Amino acid sequence: MPPWRVSKEAIDDLRTIFTGVCLDSGAGLTAFDGEHDHVHRLINDPPKASVSVLVNSLKQYPSVSKKRWGNALWSPSYFAASCGGAPIAIIGQYIEQ
């Protein structure tokens, strides 16, 4: 098994952690799921917050550190996109499937 493979249990733990971090940041975790090498998050983030600050908060949370591989949560990179115009329910369904 590759060293970056993450279990379903770890992904479930991350869901709980990310929900708390989002709430602390004034954001909301609308949908979350992942696979062994990546996660998808749909976050309702108020415009006052920087996306990079929120993502770094999620990756640097102390409990997340235990689930990291090397110095990053799977990878030091991330992808963020706005989903303005797309129905939130459809995006949430994609993430959860």
Q: What is the pTM of this model?
A: 0.66
**Separation CA 10–CA 64 (nearest Å):** 9
**Separation CA 21–CA 24 (nearest Å):** 5
CB neighbour list of residue 94: distance below 8 Å, 6 or more residues apart: 40
The yes/no answer on whether domain 8-96 falls in CATH 3.40.47.10 is no
DSSP 3: T
pLDDT tens track for 23-72: 888 888 988 888 777 788 888 887 776 777 877 777 776 666 565 656 55
Report, as an integer, the average pLDDT of 1-20.
Answer: 74
17 versus 73: which is more confidently predicted? 17
* Residue 1 in this model has a pLDDT that exceeds 70: no
Domain boundaries, the chain: 8-96
Rg, C-alpha atoms of the chain: 13
DSSP 57: H
Quote the pLDDT of residue 2: 45
Nearest to 55 by CA among 37, 40, 33: 40
